[in-house]
A = this chain, B = another copy of it.
Amino acid sequence: MPDWDSEKLVAAFESGDRRALSRLLSFVADRDPKVLPILDRLFPLTGEAWRIGLTGPPGAGKSTLVNRLVEDYRKEDKSVGVVAFDPTSPFTGGALLGDRVRMEMVSRDPQVFIRSLATRGHLGGLAVGVDEACDLMDAFGKQLVLIETVGVGQSELEVADSAETTVVVLVPQSGDSIQAMKAGLMEIADIFVLNKCDREDADRAHQELISILELKQDGEEWRPPLVRTIAETGEGVAELVRIIGEHRDYLANSGRLSERKKKRYAAKTRRLAEDELQIRLWTEERTQRRQAGFGRKVSPYELAKRIIDQFYQEIRNEQT
């Protein structure tokens, strides 16, 4: 893509053209390296959006909750971006009909921008480019960016690195809160939501969660509150919006916000550098080399060493 095209794209983006945002998001999803200088250029426009991660096990009702949150924020006339990477998300298919219809109404609102990203393989990692997608939505002027995880594997926890407020969504289900604790969700939660609170064991689950939360003595001033919701009907969602606002105020006033942003900055720089190295390392030729090694009486330990040596040699042979 010649430079003038990139100029045009940035100009369109800056004038608020949704197609430009969409196109840049596609570059991000495709890991197209030409988006990097554009992201660098748009970076000064970021920092205004509040990024809210919603995570928790599959089936907790995250998608429905995200949808309700969007509706609530829209009532306050806030512009909202949604980054979903749940293949079963109503945004991307797989939802019940009612949900899908509601979702469609939300997504037809010009102040709402929804984008789903593919997750990395079947391993349930965080979607490629979620940070970049958030940056783009932020730079585009979205006041809120909601990130919905697939609720599996790394993604469940990694989302905390991308969000200012992490909401862990659980349901009244035997042992759910203990599993969440074991899974490390307790450590990343800024707010707990007990969704599907119309279920009969909601009170028991609520108590169970409260007892576990009391065990958490980490000396933090902010103690994650527990909000009960029924996303299906919208009950409790206004309360959740209020608590998210409180968390936002807490972070801003306590100095934790810049701490969090600093950490995120460092983690992102790390990931970007490693991505670049990986792409450069695994050329077609070296990928084939490692795939052809089996059975050739060379150990993976030795083969990895040889591949790295050759990689270094290649860099040394370059003109600088």
Residues of A that sit less than 8 Å from B by CB: 36-37, 39-40, 43-44, 57-59, 88, 122-125, 150-154, 156-158, 173-175, 178-179, 182-184, 187, 258, 261-262, 265-266, 268-270, 272-274, 276-278, 281-282, 290-291, 293-295, 297, 299-305, 307-308, 311-313, 315-316, 318, 320
Cβ contact within 8 Å between B281 and A274 = yes
> With A43-B301, A315-B316 given, can you name 6 additional A-B contacts, CB distance below 8 Å?
A57-B179, A153-B184, A173-B174, A266-B294, A270-B290, A316-B318
**Contact indicator A157/B302 (Cβ below 8 Å):** no
Which partner residue on chain B sits nearest A86 by CB separation?
A: B182
Contacts of A315 in B (CB 8 A): 312, 315-316
Residues of B within 8 A of A123 (CB): 154, 157-158, 184
What is the count of identical protomers in the complex? 2
What would 18 A/B residue contacts be, using CB atoms closer than 8 Å? A36-B305, A40-B299, A44-B297, A58-B183, A122-B157, A123-B154, A124-B153, A153-B184, A173-B173, A258-B294, A265-B290, A269-B300, A270-B304, A272-B300, A274-B278, A277-B277, A313-B320, A315-B315
Closest Cβ neighbor of A276 among chain B residues: B308
Chain B CB within 10 Å — which of A58, A124, A265, A318 has the most? A265
Known: A57-B179, A184-B152. A301 touches B122 (CB 8 A): no
A182 touches B152 (CB 8 A): yes
Q: Which residues of B are found within 8 Å of A154, using beta-carbon distances?
A: 123-125, 153-154
B281 touches A39 (CB 8 A): no
Task: Determine whether the beta carbon of A290 is less than 8 Å from that of B266.
Answer: yes
Q: Which residues of B contact A307 (CB under 8 A)?
A: 269, 273
Q: Tell me, rounded to whole Å, the shortest Cβ–Cβ distance linking A122 to chain B.
A: 5
Taken together as a complex, chains A and B put the C-alpha atoms of A274 and B311 apart, in Å, by 11
Known: A122-B157, A173-B174. Is A281-B273 also a contact (CB below 8 A)? yes
Residue of B nearest to A157 (CB): B123
* Chain B residues with CB under 8 A of A301: 36-37, 39-40, 43, 272
Give the docked Cα–Cα distance between A68 and B290 (Å).
38
Most chain B beta carbons < 10 A, residue from A37, A294, A315:
A294
The listed residue with most B CB atoms (<10 A of its CB), out of A158, A270, A308, is A270
Contact A308 B273 (CB under 8 A): yes
In chain B, what residue has the closest Cβ to A88? Answer: B182
B294→A276 contact, CB < 8 A: no
Chain B residues with Cβ under 8 A from A37's Cβ?
301
